[in-house]
């Protein structure tokens, strides 16, 4: 067998191996179809031919949420919600329209920032005071990214706006860090406020929600939403579609993390989203539906858009109810 023929066979073998490895080759992921396979195969052949080590992406299963570990996702409900815990309350009458595991204590992710904003707003601190983002504000819990660089200077009001609207973690942390008395005092005030409101199942350890030790129940969070709704600053900032801030010589555009605020079918008075893997997708909001002011809480929803879909299911259900003025329709609690 000639040397040329051997080399050809070797190249064919490497190409076949490349195609077999296609599902886990890192730089093949953005492309689709036959063309992607050919491109990836050529790249792997080149890498092997050059004697280079080729990186293989390992497929790591998603970390289960606390709700999944507790078996809450197996519970069925009348509205077929994807959230493992949910609560819908008529804000005017306090009537519970829908409940599902509403007392389950779960991580709440960035829903935390609603309490952060409430404590800052009620303190009546100067909103025009300049605050500098420091290394202390960088996330070492989940290593999340931020467009607010260390050294950036913004007013307290801008930080509060970004924390509530676009769930900016460094902004929220800076608000707690620079609070009179420091971060420890701020977190203590968050817990004291929760206790004062009767949120007996709620605990905060930091102001961003990045820690899974920030925990609450749907029942407690409905209480928080009801209180936060009385604050005009929180209503404005949480429902703002977008906001621009000047950081040094740059102008940065931030947008709301909740697409429903731009949806003409919704009349939202206050809202907040949240997500970490331990908490799943979370959403709380106050909205006017079919002439009624409702508070809705959705915790530990599986799937990126599932919390929005759950809110839409509730809205359609409420709109379909032939409810006389002043009377609340009630459906049974979810059952296993």
Tens-digit pLDDT profile for residues 2-36: 444 444 444 444 344 343 333 333 333 333 344 44
Domains within the chain, CATH numbers bracketed:
3-49 (no CATH), 66-320 (3.40.710.10)
The residue count for the chain: 336
Sign of torsion, CA 97 309 202 103? positive
* Mean pLDDT for all residues in the chain: 84
Q: Are the beta carbons of 246 and 130 closer than 8 angstroms? A: no
Q: Active-site residue numbers?
A: 110, 113, 167
pLDDT of residue 59: 55
pLDDT digit string (tens) for 124-165? 999 999 999 999 999 999 999 999 999 999 999 999 999 999
- Total-model pTM: 0.79
Query: Partners of 243 in the beta sheet?
Result: 254
Higher pLDDT residue, 51 or 105?
Answer: 105
**Distance (Å, whole) CA 242 – CA 257:** 9
Tokens of 251: 């102008």
């Amino acid at each position: 067998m000639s040397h040329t023929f051997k080399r050809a066979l070797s190249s064919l073998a490497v190409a076949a191996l490349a195609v077999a490895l296609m599902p886990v080759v890192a730089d093949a992921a953005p492309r689709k179809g036959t063309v992607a396979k050919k491109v990836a195969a050529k790249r792997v052949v080149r890498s092997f031919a050059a004697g280079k080590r080729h990186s293989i992406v390992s497929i790591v299963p998603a970390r289960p949420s606390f709700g999944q570990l507790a078996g809450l996702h197996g519970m069925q409900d009348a509205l077929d919600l994807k959230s493992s815990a949910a609560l819908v309350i008529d804000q005017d009458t306090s009537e519970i329209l829908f409940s599902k595991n509403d007392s389950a204590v779960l991580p709440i992710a960035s829903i935390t920032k609603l309490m952060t904003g409430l404590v800052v707003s009620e303190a009546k601190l100067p909103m025009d005071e300049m605050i500098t983002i420091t290394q202390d504000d960088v996330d070492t819990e989940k290593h999340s990214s931020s467009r607010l660089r260390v050294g950036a200077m913004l007013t307290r009001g801008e930080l509060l706006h970004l924390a509530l609207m676009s769930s900016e973690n460094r902004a929220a942390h800076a608000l707690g860090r620079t609070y009179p008395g420091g971060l420890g005092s701020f977190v203590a005030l968050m817990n004291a406020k929760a206790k004062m409101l009767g949120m007996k199942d709620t605990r905060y350890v930091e102001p961003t929600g990045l820690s899974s030790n920030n925990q609450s129940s749907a029942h407690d969070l409905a209480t928080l939403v009801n209180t936060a709704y009385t604050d005009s600053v929180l209503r404005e900032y949480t429902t703002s579609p977008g906001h621009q801030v000047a950081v040094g010589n740059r102008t940065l555009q931030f947008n709301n993390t909740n697409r429903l605020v731009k949806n003409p079918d919704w009349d939202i008075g206050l809202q907040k989203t949240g997500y970490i893997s331990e908490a799943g997708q979370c959403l709380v909001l106050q909205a006017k539906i079919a002439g009624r002011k409702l508070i809705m809480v959705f915790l530990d929803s599986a799937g990126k858009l599932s919390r929005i879909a759950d809110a839409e299911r509730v809205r359609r259900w409420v709109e379909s109810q032939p409810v006389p003025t002043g009377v609340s329709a009630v459906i049974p609690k979810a059952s296993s």
